Structure 1
Amino acid sequence: MITTLLKNRASVRRFQNKPVPEAVIEDMLEAARLSPSGGNEQPWAFGVITDCSLIEQIAQLAHGQEWIARAPLLIVLCTVCVEDRRGGRDIQMHRYPRYVEAIAEIPQSLYWALNQEEHQTKIAGTHMVLTALEHGVSSCWVSRFDVKGLAGLLQLPFYYLPSEILVLGYPEHQQPPRSRKSLDELVFRNVFKG
């Protein structure tokens, strides 16, 4: 049941030296492919990274988070800004017409503030994380990294914007889930009554 997976999920940063089987990776990618998106745009692409040297370089681009270098699998979630083959309209680009052209010129902090369209890609990433967990594979989301550096390293086309890095592997040890806020702290019904 999905609530059991959610209750047992925890961010893991220590992994066994054991590869994630291709069949598990394919299940994760299929779950992401089936994710919902506004207008059925499906504005995503996924980079599957298993090369140890490449993983080490990505760890450096993630502000030197060395634990990433010891993971057997990374999946780079990319938000795609291209023409929609179905209707001839621009996906994402109609929201930020000059966004892609200007990305090389803007500071990293402004990139984080502007890139709000990646939320659809993160839904697909969540589906991957839950599918991985179903197979006993743990994960950790990495949101802070050198976007331009990663795009260059992976030789991405200009319209692929790296949004997140999923770091995945079999956990070195079971990590208890962290405490969560109660529903009373998070939910209001109809109107907020403070």
Structure 2
Amino acid sequence: MEFFEVLRKRRSVRRFQDRPVPRELVEKLLEAAFLSPSSFNKRPWHFIVVDDGEKLKALSEAKLGASGLATAPLVIVVTADEGRSDVWVEDASIAAEHIQLAAFDIGLSAFWVQIRNRMHDESKTAEDYVKELLGIPENYRVLCIIGVGYPAEKKPPRENVTEWGKVSLNGFGREFRRGEDEA
């Protein structure tokens, strides 16, 4: 699929078919993550692939808004070693986006569940909940969980999402005019 077609047609899907994701496709998703750039090529990330039904159910309870993970046959938990890079959030975010774009390109769907800076309940962060559940070391931070699978719903492509009013030229508030070079 052509890259801009992937960008236009990819949508977050939170309901999946009861169908496992073949190992070769999981490896493709991880390869896409490994191909993502990182600051000074430090590659601070670590990915945890989860396909165990009980763990998927438990992850779906990590925070409000994570319930779609219960129908996903596969999740990829995106973590990073914060001691390895001061921009681990950015590096891991780029890798997570690569996973989502690759999923759509190979016929799957995906969605992002934010874990960092979210709460599981009044006394525990979603990050601590996930770390305890999956045995993640203290020096690793949990950015997000990507739910992946074959979609059980179809969403239309995005239409008219360009927001040229949110683009400035050579300084904030200077209008960027499409199709015109700066005078």
Q: TM-score, normalised by structure 1?
A: 0.78
Q: CA deviation at 1:31?
A: 1.2
Aligned partner of 1:164 in structure 2 is: 144
2:18 is aligned with 1:17: yes
Q: Distance in 2 between matches of 1:60 and 1:180?
A: 35
C-alpha displacement at 1:179, in angstroms? 5.0
Q: CA deviation at 1:188?
A: 1.4
What does residue 67 of structure 1 align with? Answer: 68
Question: 1:178, CA displacement in angstroms?
Answer: 4.5
CA distance in 1, matches of 2:26, 2:68: 21
Match for residue 173 of structure 2? 193
1:180 and 1:164 map into 2 onto residues whose CA distance is 28
Q: Which amino acid aligns with 1:122?
A: S
> What residue identity is the alignment partner of 2:137?
P
**Could you say which residue in structure 2 is the equivalent of 1:107?**
none
Larger RCO (CA within 8 A; separation ≥ 6): 1
CA gap 1:7/1:181 in 2 versus in 1, 3 angstroms: closer
Aligned AA for 1:162?
V
Secondary structure class of the residue paired with 1:61: coil
Write the mapping of 1:22-171 to structure 2, written as runs, cut at 5 A: 22-63=23-64, 65-82=66-83, 91-92=84-85, 95=86, 117-144=88-115, 146-171=126-151
Percent of aligned positions with the same letter in both sequences? 34
Amino acid at match of 2:98: H
* Pairwise CA RMSD: 1.7
* Bigger share in helix: 1
SS of structure 1 residue aligned to 2:61: helix
Distance, in Å, in 2 between the alignment partners of 1:49 and 1:179 is 34
CA contact (8 A) 2:66 2:113 kept: no
1:67-96 per-residue CA deviation (whole Å, 9 max, x = no partner) reads 2211101100001134xxxxxxxx23xx4x
Runs of 4+ deviating beyond 6 Å: none
Give the whole-Å Cα distance in 1 for the aligned partners of 2:71 and 2:143: 21
What is the CA distance between 1:185 and its match in structure 2?
Answer: 2.5
CA positional deviation for 1:34: 1.6
Which is further off, 140-149 or 184-193?
184-193
Counterpart Cα distance in 1 of 2:160 and 2:112 = 17
Q: Distance in 2 between matches of 1:158 and 1:36?
A: 24
